[in-house]
Chain A
Amino acid sequence: MIYLDHYRTTPVLEAVVKKMTPFLREAYFLPESFTKRGTEAAEVIDQSNRVLLDAFNIEDGEVVYTSGGTASNNIVISGVLRDVDLREAHIVCTVIDHPSIVNTYEYYRKKGASVTFLKVDGNGLIDPEELRKHIQTKTVLISLTHTNHTIGAIQPLEQLLPIIKEQNPKTRIHIDATMSLNAMALDLSQLPIDFLTFSGHKIYGPKGVGAIVFRKSGPLKPILFGTVTTSPFSPGAENIPGIVGLSEALRIATAQREAYLHKMRPLQERTIKRIESEIPDVVLNGPRPHPEGNLHTFSVKRAIDNINFSFRYVEGESIMMFLDFEDIIVATGSACASSDLKVNYVLSAIGRDHEMAHGSLRITPGWGNDEEQIDQMIDRLKPIVSRLRAQSTLR
């Protein structure tokens, strides 16, 4: 199998499994006061908290564990808005944010909040001046996906966030960093982020666990109720194996970033170069990686581990399935492959017409890939695309 769908999910690292296993078996206890095993379990969570806070360089912060990125985003948005008079509230996100943000914002729009869905340019990036215009005195919350899940566009937070705080220091800033953390550090001592959300299974950790990291002063209100042991925002039994796995995966991702960048860069370069030179009528979706871009700064506009192409005259589900027959796994933005037959909203938002969005493939390499696998994938992709084009009604 050649797995090139790491934006969908990643395998759990061996080291992470090792770290988790004792907590499934012998150390299966839950946090509890006064008992030896209960306090040990609480300490395990404390240690995980420390790992998360260190990774984001924030001294005085809080950590909430959730069931994943979607739950994290929901708990932040609904938690901030819980006691707010929605008719007086204004909230801002972009049209290409993850569905767990966009759909939650849409829910609050229907409930009476005033919502701005910021437009993006042809590369999926926000115009800073457009952002400035839309932060008002009643803007209580802005949610931004740092690295876009479809086209890998990276919003320049170091440029955007000061604008928000300048316009309204009270606006709370929520950043979804789910797709960023393998390749990029987010330094909360430098960036005025109020809530940072992410997920375990995109960073080679387990599924079913995510987190919210935020400053102690954060105005979050609980939206889930039950037995509170470690955090009022996530009542009920703690997912200790998951929490341990999440923090270990983040610790490793942080330590391995340099190596990750060096591994991904030639894979991305080769994929883009070969597809563009060997397959006619293709369009790269999202920003073009800067050939000299310094990987350590926010001047990078495209994630190092994301490639997204539209292949004209063919439909993406067909390409995806033919690759799948060969045990090569990628993703498509085709409406045909979605549950509601709607065309991919991210690709629409960057101006791709229906046909272009239908013929899109998202190729996302990871730790397990090498250049040989990239070559194999492209060697298979070429005849598939020409064959489907030969039998297409178009062109």
Chain B
Amino acid sequence: MRMVAGYEGGKALAVIKYSEKVLEHFRNPKNIGMIEDADGQSTVGSPACGDQVSMFLKIREDRITDIKFLSYGCASNIATGSIITEMAKGKSLNEAKAITWKNAVDELGGLPPVKIHCSVLAIDGLRAAIQDYEEKTTGIKQERKVDEMMILDELKKVIYPKNGINIVDTNMIRYLSFEEGVITIEISIEETDLFKQNVLEEIDEHLEVLPGVKKIEIKVVEY
């Protein structure tokens, strides 16, 4: 029931510890709450996968003047929400959009690899809230047509907990196609990999929400 990191051959199992900064943001999160008359807002994640984050933005002249968040999640989820809202406050929309998951993790003094999923969610939430605002103000739905590039972009949000790098850059995606609503993916991951199920579920979560996707077929290959 306690947190133990994934086993790496030859290395002893390490007990996960949060940095002081993570603990501080978890204990006393900044910008927690909601904004009733938000200009842009989002809710990402789901209770079923363990975390959910809501973001609320007040925007004046393309600048974030106020930002708040709510979190159903673990310490790293709450801490990342706190740090990201701090980082985004006062920034222009373009600057805020450029904040990456890595920026946030660095700012927090690092996060255990297994906790990356929770921290990516807050970034997704910020971007989705900005998009919500932009769509509302321009009246233009920023919906890109789903294509293989877009699927690849989504897969880049799935982090492989063992190395903290997304599954695309970890070179785990061996094949990808999108035809008549069916996404077919071949992913290279070992049968015994501790994170296999976790990675597969996350791929599903990211892809099933894309418009026009009827079916996701994931084949696990071991090469």
Report the stretch among B2-10, B92-100, B137-145 that lies at the interface: B2-10
Is residue A152 contacting chain B, with contact meaning CB distance below 8 A? no
**Cα A271 to Cα B43 with chains together (Å):** 35
Cross-chain contact A339 with B71 (CB below 8 angstroms):
no
**B52 close to A340 (CB less than 8 A):** no
- Kindly list chain A residues whose C-beta atoms are within 8 Å of the C-beta of B194: 339-340
Q: Are B48 and A353 in contact (CB under 8 A)?
A: yes
CB-nearest residue of chain A relative to B43? A393
| Minimal beta-carbon separation of A109 from chain B (angstroms) | 14
Nearest-neighbour CB distance to chain A for B214, whole angstroms, equals: 25
Expressed in whole angstroms, the Cα–Cα distance for A316 and B144 within the complex equals 38
Give the secondary structure class of B's interface. Answer: mixed
Q: Which of B1, B49, B74, B117 contacts A362 (CB 8 A)?
A: B1
Q: Are A315 and B198 in contact (CB under 8 A)?
A: no
Known: A342-B197, A392-B72. A315 touches B33 (CB 8 A): no
0 or 1 for each of B77-117: is its CB under 8 Å from A? (1 = yes): 11000000000000000000000000000000000001101
B197 in contact with A315 (CB, 8 Å): no
Q: Which of A301-330 contact B (CB under 8 A)?
A: 313-315, 317-318, 321-322, 325
Which of B27, B52, B72: most chain A Cβ within 10 A? B72
Q: Which interface class (under 10, 10 to 19, 20 to 34, 35 or more) fits B?
A: 35 or more
* A-B pairs under 8 A by CB, number: 91
Interface size class of A (residues with CB under 8 A): 20 to 34
* Residues of A129-146 contacting chain B, CB below 8 A: none
Q: Is the CB of A354 within 8 A of B47?
A: yes
Residues of B whose CB lies within 8 Å of any CB of A are 1-6, 26-27, 29, 32-33, 43, 47-54, 70-75, 77-78, 114-115, 117-118, 161, 194-195, 197-198
Known: A8-B2, A340-B194, A341-B114. 10 other contacts (CB 8 A): A317-B74, A317-B75, A318-B75, A321-B75, A331-B1, A339-B5, A354-B49, A391-B29, A391-B33, A393-B72
Which residues of A does B touch, CB under 8 Å? 8, 313-315, 317-318, 321-322, 325, 331-344, 353-355, 358, 362, 391-394
Q: 7 tightest CB-CB pairs across the interface, nearest first?
A: A336-B74, A355-B47, A317-B74, A331-B1, A393-B52, A393-B70, A392-B72
